[in-house]
Every structure is written in C-alpha cells, then in structure tokens.
Amino acid sequence: MYANFLLVFRARTSRIIIWFPLQPCHILLMSPVLNATPTLPADMNSSTLPSAAADPALYANRYHTLMAGVTVLLVLPTLAVILRLLSRWIAGAGLWFDDYAVILAWLFALGPSIALIVAIHIGFGEHIEILPASTIFAVFKVLYAFSLTFIMAMITVKFSVILFLYRIFPIVHFRRILVGAAIFVVCLGVSLFPVSIWTCTPIHDFWTTLGGGVKSRSGGRCVNTQLFYLVSGAINTVTDFALLALPIPLLWRLRTGKLQKSILTVIFTVGLTVCAVSINRLIILSRFQHAKLSQLGRLDITWNYVAPATWTAAEPAVAVISACLPSLRPLFVRNHLGPSLPANPDVSAEQ
C-alpha cells in the first residue's frame, strides 16, 4: 500500500499542492504548522490540525480579492480629499475647521484598510484550520486596531459634515440644531471608544479568546461583540440618515432655479451611499453568527469574517468621499451654479 504525501509550497499569494505516492508514512509538510509554537486555546489543540489539513480545499485564500478591494478603499478617499483641497484653492478660500476635520477623518479612515492589508499578509482570508495559534492571535491583534480606527473615523467624519453645514448655513436655529448634533456625536464617541478599547478585560483576551469566541484561561471577560457591533452600527446608521436629512429643507428654500436645487440636493444625498453601505454591513454582521463552522467546531473566523471586515473598512472610506463631494462644486459646476455655495445663503428663514 502507498500513502499520499502532501507537499505544500506556499508563496505570498498562493500555494501549490502536490501529491506523491510514497511508502506508508503519512508525512505532512506544512510550514505554518511545523513552525508554530503557541499555547493554543483549550478547544483548539494541535492534534486537530493534521486531519483538517487533509482537504486541499482548505488551502484556498482570498488574498487577491481582499487586496483589490482594500486598494480601492485607500485610493478613492485619498483622491476625494485631494480634490476637496484643490477645490478650496480654486475657489480662493482658505481651509476651515471642516476641512481639517475631514483630513483627520481621512487619516483614521485609512486605518481599517491598512489594518486589513497587514492582516491579509499575516493570514486573514485563509481557513483557520491551517493557521498556527500564533498567527491567529496576530490576526486578532490587527483586528483590534482595526475596530479602534473604525470608531474614530466614523466619529470624525460626522464632525466634519456638521462643521461643513455650520459654515455654509449661517442660520441661527439651524446652527443650534447642529450644535446639538455635535454634542450627540461627542457623546457617541465617548461611549463607543472606551467599549472598543476594553472589549475584553484584560485587553489581551481579545486576541487570546479570538474576540470572545473561546473561553478565557485568565478568568477575563468579554462583552458580546456581536451585539455591540450591531447596536453601535444601528446608531451610526440612524445618525447618518439624520445628518443627510438636515440640509435638504434649506436647499429647497434657496432662491435659485429648480435645476440648481435638484443638482445641489443630489450632491448632498450622495451621502445615502454611506447609509447603504452601513445597512449592508449590519446585515452581513447579523448573518455572520450563522456562518459555516470550521472543522475545529467553531466559526472559521479568518475566512468567514472577510466580508464583514471589508464592508466595515468600506464604510468610513465611503463616508469621507461623501463628505468631500459637496465641496467639489467649484471643480465641476462653477459656471452654472456660481463659484460655491453662498457664504450667507438667501433663504427665507429666521436669522
């Protein structure tokens, strides 16, 4: 009788799997496992790995798909911010607080995408069965940073939108509403960010328990991350809708033609894309808990979490783009709608 000898050549982006007929030995050469020296969680011991590795399909990875998506999420918001600054220069206006806020939001929005790139090169997008515990822990360390930068990006981009509306609509009662919205956003950030930091106590339990997916050996505790992400995401989506709805009545009270009003409304409501991304992210997150179990008897997190993570990274990127679009008018419609939105829009409202 002959046994199969599985030889795995692993490159950065792919694997070549070759089967050789040898004398009975059942030798498995798999560099990620041979090089692993971690302390595994209680329900994840090394004896399960050879049987899991017997299926060549487990060596699939999502490297190219992830990298293509992340590249877009890095390039498009960067281009939007550059065009916004160029637009301000063409209009002959200096930078105001909203411009600085959107630059800060852009920097934070790069965080989730950069974190995904790091995670991809570590092992994210591969099946958990073939990854040593040290690699899995490293992936979750990166995902921890991913969640923190996401929260900061969404808070700062909302602030930039509020400041932008404050600048272009100097109407007393409207500005009071914006101040209230700003206070709410601050409270939202103050409540969400600490929970994100101390998702698990002690903090290192976030990666040693796979985000609370396995029992802590240190006696620590983790919040229900699934519930936290869903609730915070729902609040985030409702806030986005509210910010989008605020300027629409004022836009239609401007003393301009219907065409100009329609164009301005479309420019502002492009932000609905953010809401669509946010809603889709919530749907995917809600389905994640029903994802396929791995051969180790738990969620194949490093494989199944690819879609939720990608949509999560997309949300702040799309938000930055949407926040920049209303400021790009001098680049595209200068001759039709004037140089920019009026500093003191002529609206029939109480000043």
Q: Which pLDDT tens digit goes with each residue over 140-162?
A: 999 999 999 999 999 999 999 99
Residue 7 binned pLDDT confidence (cut-offs 50, 70, 90): very low
What is the C-alpha separation between 162 and 309, in angstroms, rounded?
27
pLDDT reported for residue 114: 96
Average pLDDT of the residues in 69-95: 93
Asked if the model's pLDDT at residue 4 lies above 70, the reply is no
In angstroms, the CA 307 to CA 321 distance is 21
Res 116: pLDDT:
95
Kindly report the average pLDDT of the chain as a whole number: 78
pLDDT of residue 25: 37
Distances (CA, A) of 148 to 12, 43, 83, 115, 128: 28, 28, 27, 11, 23
pLDDT at 292: 52
pLDDT at 263: 66
Between 320 and 21, the higher pLDDT residue: 320
Q: Are residues 199 and 134 in contact, defined by beta-carbon separation less than 8 angstroms?
A: no
